[in-house]
Structures are given as structure tokens and as C-alpha cells.
Amino acid sequence: MITESSHPELLRMTGIIKHFPGAKALDGVDLDIRAGEVHCLLGQNGAGKSTLIKVLAGAHQPDAGQISWRGETVRIGSTQAALKLQLAVE
């Protein structure tokens, strides 16, 4: 059985907002991931799946929201910054 104490939170994305000209790609997205979990993002085209992952990878900057990695609030300003945190996406 997986419990909160046996699998600490690795990633928390809270209230992530991202605008592009003419469109709001992300509107207050929350995502929590604990060690040992596997997640899949599903949705229609234009739902914001790729944008959320690009925010996590440092390819896009969120307009609002907070990202915590291993319990520390972080700003992922570039793909290189994400890699320094040992954050990688495929």
C-alpha cells in the first residue's frame, strides 16, 4: 500500500496559468506527483497538455502559479535550469 509518508511528494504545480496571444493555454492547473507514481496527461487537442510539460521543462514560463520540486519552491527559467534540478521530460 502506498502512503504519503512512504512516498514523499516530488513535484507540486499549483495554479499554473499560461497565456499565448489570443488564447489561455493553462487556467490554474494543479498537479501533484509522489515518488513511485506514474501519470498520464490526457485531453483534446489544445487542452494544454504539452504546454504544462513545457512549463515543467523550462521551455515556457508560466504567467502565474508555483512549482515545488522535492519540497522547495523553484523557478525553472530554462531547460538547462530544469536539467540542473534533475528534471527531464520525454
The amino acid that residue 22 corresponds to is G
Q: Listing from the earlier edge strand, what are the strands of the sheet with 9-20?
A: 23-34, 9-20, 64-69, 72-74
pLDDT of residue 3: 52
* pTM of the predicted protein model: 0.86
CA 68 to the chain's CA centroid: 9
Where does the pLDDT of residue 19 fall: very low under 50, low under 70, confident under 90, or very high at 90 and above?
very high
CA nearest 8: which of 87, 69, 53? 69
Evaluate whether the domain defined by 9-84 bears CATH number 3.30.565.10. Answer: no
What residue ranges do the domains of the chain occupy?
9-84
pLDDT at 61 over 50: yes
CB 76 within 8 A of CB 85: yes
| Percent over 70 (pLDDT), the chain | 93
pLDDT at 24 over 90: yes
